[in-house]
Chains A and B, each alone.
Chain A
Amino acid sequence: MSFDPSPYVALSAVIFFIGVLGVLLRRNPLIVLMSIELMFNAANLALVAFSRAWVNNAGHVFVFLVITVAAAEAAIGLAIVVAVFRRSVNVDVDEVASMRG
């Protein structure tokens, strides 16, 4: 019997879109970044599932790289959050709207 990755892909999609909703609807920047991590995780899940289906460890390497990049991105994102909201009263992405026009 062969391995069918479709349930894992479906699950990955569900988690991914939960993450998207978090990005769109939450206003606390930290939670937004966490939602982005969720989206990364969903992608990783799909990759691992396919890697298992095709028995090809290129998928694993890709996941490794994704994790690394996600870490770097989280670090930088949090640094920006700290820099922007260090001295503000409200921690709210809607407040950072000076580039309107």
Chain B
Amino acid sequence: MTAFWILGILLVASAVMTVTQKSPVYSVVGLLANFLALAVLFMTLDAEFLAIIQVVVYGGAILMLFVFVIALLSSGTGPFTEGPNRLPLARGPALAIVLIAFGALMYAVLRAPLAPGTIVPPSSTLGLAGQPDVFGSIGDFGTALFTTHLLPFEVTAFILMVAVIGVVLIAADAVPQRTHGHHPVRPKREREPIVKVR
């Protein structure tokens, strides 16, 4: 229980840090803390494989993506600049709606029994990872993934392929033109404001 509370506070704090920091790099750090805390929480919930996946994929891949894009979009060492706030009055209503939704969700969740009372949880299984009949172990997970849930697995692979193709198409620069000495090549870092269309 104490683990839950400590990790819970960590999670919330890091989430708030992610959302409120001015500089995106600080937000990335907060997000990393969030991922790590969540991984530990997974561990306490007997989901060891998922904890590792969480750290590797989220923290190792996705966060890196974010860092690279921050680097790509930064100009020199200055902070990101932002235009004027077009929705200055959004704070109050946003907060209100979120609180209402949260209240509704909590009301629904906490009134109903969420799990049967008869299932006896297994004892702590740390150390027995790899056994296919231990809940949460990599063996158990692998068996499930490759037998019962094989189709979703294959579809997921497909999704990833589509994502890769999409990224290449969207983010790739146009093929640089050879100028044949007629006019100078435009520098890559040239900045122009986006034309505002009324």
Contacts and interface: CB of A to CB of B under 8 A. Distances in A.
Q: Is A–B contact present in the complex under a CB 8 A cutoff?
A: yes
22 contacts: A5-B114, A6-B110, A14-B12, A15-B11, A15-B34, A18-B16, A21-B95, A24-B98, A25-B91, A27-B82, A28-B82, A37-B31, A44-B38, A50-B114, A54-B119, A64-B53, A65-B152, A67-B58, A89-B81, A89-B191, A91-B80, A94-B85
Main secondary structure of the interface of B (DSSP, over half): helix
Contact of B73 (A34, A81, A98): A81
A15 to B, nearest CB: 5
Nearest to B119: A55
B160 interface: yes
Given A2-B116, A5-B114, A70-B62, A35 B19 contact: yes
A55 B122 contact: yes
Contacts of B185: none
Interface string B149-163: 100110010011011
Interface string B71-95: 0110000001111111100110011
Nearest to A46: B109
Contacts of B70: 30
B193 interface: yes
A85 B73 contact: yes
Interface of A: 2-11, 13-15, 17-22, 24-28, 30-31, 33-35, 37-38, 41, 44-45, 48-55, 57-58, 60-61, 63-65, 67-76, 78-83, 85-92, 94-98
B144 A60 contact: yes
Interface of B: 4, 8, 11-12, 15-16, 18-19, 21, 24, 27-28, 31, 34-35, 38, 41-42, 45-47, 49-50, 53-54, 57-58, 61-62, 65-66, 69-70, 72-73, 80-87, 90-91, 94-95, 98, 101-102, 105-106, 109-110, 114-122, 135-136, 140-141, 144-145, 148-149, 152-153, 156, 159-160, 162-164, 166-167, 170-171, 173, 190-194, 196-197
Main secondary structure of the interface of A (DSSP, over half): helix
Contacts of A91: 73, 80-82
Going nearest first, the 4 A-B pairs with the smallest beta carbon separation are A72-B163, A53-B115, A22-B19, A79-B171
A20 B93 CA distance: 13
Given A2-B117, A27-B82, A89 B193 contact: yes
Contact of A79 (B85, B102, B170, B196): B170
